[in-house]
Amino acid sequence: KHGVMTRKSHADMDGKRTPRGRRGWKKFYAVLKGMILYLQKDEYKPDADISEVDLKNAVRIHHALATRATDYSKRANVLKLKTSDWRVYLLQAPSEEEMMSWIFRINLV
């Protein structure tokens, strides 16, 4: 699965609140491949190599949990992704349908 998603980092590894200056929203092209959610700068190209930056932004979603971000109301269609190392990301999908589809697919892994 792939598509545009906008990300906000809410907590870093070990659950510590992401510090100011790194809490902004940023648009990515998200690609779910196996147990990894790639957040890429550019559009998905099936056979292209993954860049250094894209690797840094990749999220391991094994044992992660995706839920609707019911406690975040500033934006619509936002899901909350908690990873196994206690990072928390907010991810905004372009529509309600897309958000539900991402939640379903992430939790299936």
Considering only 13, 14, 20, 108, the residue that binds ligand I3P (CB under 6 A) is: 20
Q: Are the CB atoms for 86 and 15 separated by under 8 Å?
A: yes
Residues 6+ apart with CB under 8 A from 14: 85, 86
Compute the Cα dihedral for 60, 63, 64, 66 and give only its sign.
positive
Give yes or no for residue 24 binding ligand I3P (CB under 6 A): yes
User: How big, in percent rounded to 5, are the helix, strand and coil portions of the chain?
Assistant: 20, 40, 40
Give yes or no for residue 74 binding ligand I3P (CB under 6 A): yes
Q: Name the residue nearer to ligand I3P (CB basis): 1 or 41.
A: 41
Binding track, positions 34-73, relative to ligand I3P; x by CB under 6 A: ----------------------------------------
Give yes or no for residue 12 binding ligand I3P (CB under 6 A): no
Residue 10 host element (H or E) = strand 2-11
Give yes or no for residue 23 binding ligand I3P (CB under 6 A): yes
Give yes or no for residue 94 binding ligand I3P (CB under 6 A): no
* Of the candidates 29, 37, 31, the residue with the CA atom closest to the CA atom of residue 5: 29
Q: Which positions lie near ligand I3P, rule CB under 6 A? A: 20-25, 74
